Amino acid sequence: MAAQIISGNEVAKSIRAELKDEVSRMKAGGITPGLVVIIVGEDAASQVYVRKKGEACQELGINSETIRLPADTKEAELLALIDKYNADEKFDGILVQLPLPKHISEEKVLLRIDPGKDVDGFHPVNVGKMVIGAADCYLPCTPHGVQELLMRSGNDPKGKHVVVLGRSNIVGKPITNILLQKAPGADATVTICHSRTKDLKEFTLRADIIVAAMGVPNFLKGDMVKDGVVIMDVGVNRISDPTAKGGCRLVGDVDFESVKEKAKAITPVPGGVGPMTITMLMKNTVKAAKIHHDWKG
Ligand code: GUN
């Protein structure tokens, strides 16, 4: 049977419609959620992401501000700016776009953001809350998006064996914790594999669901998965292709053509997990505003 191609674009669209309704109800009640995005330097991919974040806020009626700082900004200046927004009640969420220039400590910066405004879910307080399953934590956007995609595409991870490929702080570790929770949308048995895992194929062949997030183009092949597997491809790799527009194209960590022959469901790249990340950022910003204003509507 042909694999279900899970459209992140469609799922993201319906979540954004729900959020837009919610924001308009909040606004009628005198509350406007606010997000400030801070970017340091000229990284081209980061510039695109930051622009998309601003556009998503505008679409949903969220108040947003983008602060663009030069690459030679001092760490102390950035920390002082974070302090300013921590104290500014107009903003419910603060996001500092990563990566930062080398002379600025990412750890220091992430620690400085008020955990109650950390809509990226990267502050150690939120990481800890995620691990214990606290209701008021902000889940990191990409893994949260993977969980939503599974649920909204009819692929509940409950009782399933999920194999996660990759152990990053942004995707691999958090998705492992999220799907492990004793909670709706989770309750999975989770195995995490990485670059030092021996006989990785033995794990992937036993997986009901695979979350591929290792950053290796087309890594997962059809002979590494079982029939009926569900695939979430988090990879975003630019590879050169003289036949493509601009001489390169985007591929995931999954060899889509060979894996789709065996999969029950699979996300494409682009248009799969990608569109979910900013949508979950919007969800976290709305959640922050609800908490800050004790909104029960
Ligand atoms: N850079 C790449 N992905 C992300 C993200 O999810 N949040 C932030 N702040 N920076 C990123």
How do residues 271-284 score in pLDDT, each as one tens digit? Answer: 999 999 999 999 99
CA–centroid distance, residue 96 to ligand 1 (Å): 8
Average pLDDT of span 138-158: 98
CA–centroid distance, residue 241 to ligand 1 (Å): 26
* 32, 22 Cβ separation under 8 angstroms: no
Tell me, yes or no, if 181 is annotated catalytic: no
Cis-peptide, bond into residue 184, ω within 30° of zero = no
Average pLDDT of span 64-76: 98
Average pLDDT of span 222-237: 98
**Backbone dihedral angles phi then psi of residue 154, each to the nearest 5 degrees:** 80, 30
Structure tokens at 83: 């302090």
Q: Which of 36, 123, 170 is the pocket-test mutation for ligand 1 (most atoms within 8 Å of CB)? A: 170
Domains and CATH numbers, the chain: 29-122 (3.40.50.10860), 141-273 (3.40.50.720)
Model confidence at 1: pLDDT above 80:
no
Average pLDDT of span 87-111: 98
pLDDT of residue 297: 79
Cβ-based neighbours of 44, under 8 Å, separated by 6 or more: none
Model confidence at 252: pLDDT above 90:
yes
Which ligand 1 atom minimizes the distance to the CA of 95?
Answer: 9
Average pLDDT of the chain, as a whole number:
97
Catalytic residue among 120, 233, 253, 255: 120
Closest CA to 59 of 30, 33, 37: 33
pLDDT of residue 218: 98
Torsion of CA 289, 118, 43, 282, to 10 degrees: -30
pLDDT band for position 181 (50/70/90)?
Answer: very high
Cβ neighbours, 10 Å, residue 263: 25
Which residue's CA is the nearest one to ligand 1's atom 9?
97
Confirm or reject: Cβ of 120 under 6 Å from ligand 1: yes
Confirm or reject: Cβ of 40 under 6 Å from ligand 1: no
Cβ-based neighbours of 92, under 8 Å, separated by 6 or more: 33, 34, 35, 117, 119, 285, 288, 289, 292
pLDDT of residue 291: 97
Q: Which of 95, 96, 98 is the pocket-test mutation for ligand 1 (most atoms within 8 Å of CB)? A: 98
Tell me, yes or no, if 97 is annotated catalytic: yes
Structure tokens at 169: 């702080």
pLDDT above 90 coverage of the chain, percent: 98
